[in-house]
Amino acid sequence: MKQNNRMLFLLTTTITLLLGSTNIFAAEGDTSLDNVMKFMLIVTLFMIAFVLWLIVVYSEKEDSEGKTFKAPLIAFRKFLTRSTPIENEKEILLSHNYDGIRELDNRIPPWFSMLFYGTIIWAAIYFMVFHVFDDGQVQSKEYKVEIEKAKMERDFLVRTGAFINEETVKFVDDAASMAEGKEIYLKNCATCHGQNGEGLVGPNLTDDFWIHGGGVKNIFKVIKYGVPAKGMISWETQLDPKKMQSASSYIITLHGTNPPNGKTAEGEKWIEPADDKQALTKGS
């Protein structure tokens, strides 16, 4: 009987502690650090309480059997089990007797009743929160929320042009991109390529000839990585991909404008491959 009680006591304390800690960690993902802090705080308080308790126990000089030490544990176990002490067992012995096997009318241990009623209360709260007030997230709602979140993240990435690189870059000719491209060009590029792309230190950007190939992809690549050895810097760190796309597109619109003082052509004549031409005429 005693052995049993000890086991039950151990079991219930572990379960209580486990439940407590999972509850602490199960809350919102973003605040997990907060929760770790809370958990640490609780552990620390427990440790302080334990040390204080040890001080009390050690100051008890008459107690050679360690009764003071065990007292709260025994009290707690009693509270959880409410079992009848062995010396009083006669009082709860039932009258029947099967081949010498007799039955004790022990009361249901409170820890068990607490679990039982606890689950009922829990079920009611759960039902209200998840199915009546619709506050909690049942699986299907959780799924929807996650999809929504992923969509927002994707939209953000699209807006900032995170998916734009030299492979995916497109010629864009909507007014906003054009205005942006022009602004970037005048601010950063005109000093070397001329106000109208006619070429100064840098090559002419309006003719049919390109040192590194024409078309939006090649232009984007040169802007992104630069040609440091020849004095064309890499803009990757100063312009986000979307801005580089706008600048590339703006440069494409300069083609054939034939500005005055055009610098002599450099490089090879560029012939637009069929599918890029399509992109050029149709936009993206």
Verify binding: residue 111, ligand HEC, rule CB under 6 A: no
* Out of 164, 216, 232, 279, the residue judged to bind ligand HEC by CB under 6 A: 232
For ligand HEC, the closer CB: 80 or 223: 223
Question: Of 3-11, 38-46, 151-159, 200-208, which segment contacts ligand HEC by CB under 6 A?
Answer: 200-208
Verify binding: residue 271, ligand HEC, rule CB under 6 A: no
Verify binding: residue 197, ligand HEC, rule CB under 6 A: no
Q: How many residues bind ligand HEC (CB under 6 A)?
A: 24
- Alpha carbon of 129 to those of 20, 126, 145: distances in Å? 20, 5, 17
Verify binding: residue 172, ligand HEC, rule CB under 6 A: no
What 8-state DSSP symbol labels residue 133? S
The count of other CB atoms within 10 Å of the CB of residue 153 is: 10
Residues between 1 and 20 with contacts to ligand HEC, criterion CB under 6 A: none
| Residues 234/228, Cβ–Cβ less than 8 Å | yes
Measured from the CB of residue 202, what is the shortest distance to ligand HEC in angstroms?
3
* Out of 193, 217, 224, 242, the residue judged to bind ligand HEC by CB under 6 A: 193
Question: Of 74-82, 95-103, 121-129, 196-204, which segment contacts ligand HEC by CB under 6 A?
Answer: 196-204
What one-letter code names the amino acid at 19? L
Measured from the CB of residue 162, what is the shortest distance to ligand HEC in angstroms?
19
Joined together, the tokens standing for residue 228 give 């440091």
The count of other CB atoms within 10 Å of the CB of residue 89 is: 15
Would strands 93-98 and 209-210 be described as parallel, antiparallel, or unpaired? Answer: unpaired
What one-letter code names the amino acid at 227? V
Residues between 21 and 60 with contacts to ligand HEC, criterion CB under 6 A: none
Alpha carbon distance 141, 168 (integer Å):
34
Residues between 204 and 223 with contacts to ligand HEC, criterion CB under 6 A: 210-212, 219, 222-223
Verify binding: residue 188, ligand HEC, rule CB under 6 A: yes
For ligand HEC, the closer CB: 109 or 267: 267
Alpha carbon distance 45, 57 (integer Å):
18
| Residues 275/227, Cβ–Cβ less than 8 Å | no
Measured from the CB of residue 193, what is the shortest distance to ligand HEC in angstroms?
6
Verify binding: residue 164, ligand HEC, rule CB under 6 A: no
| Residues 212/273, Cβ–Cβ less than 8 Å | no
| Residues 12/80, Cβ–Cβ less than 8 Å | yes
Beta-bridge mates of residue 56? none
Verify binding: residue 227, ligand HEC, rule CB under 6 A: yes
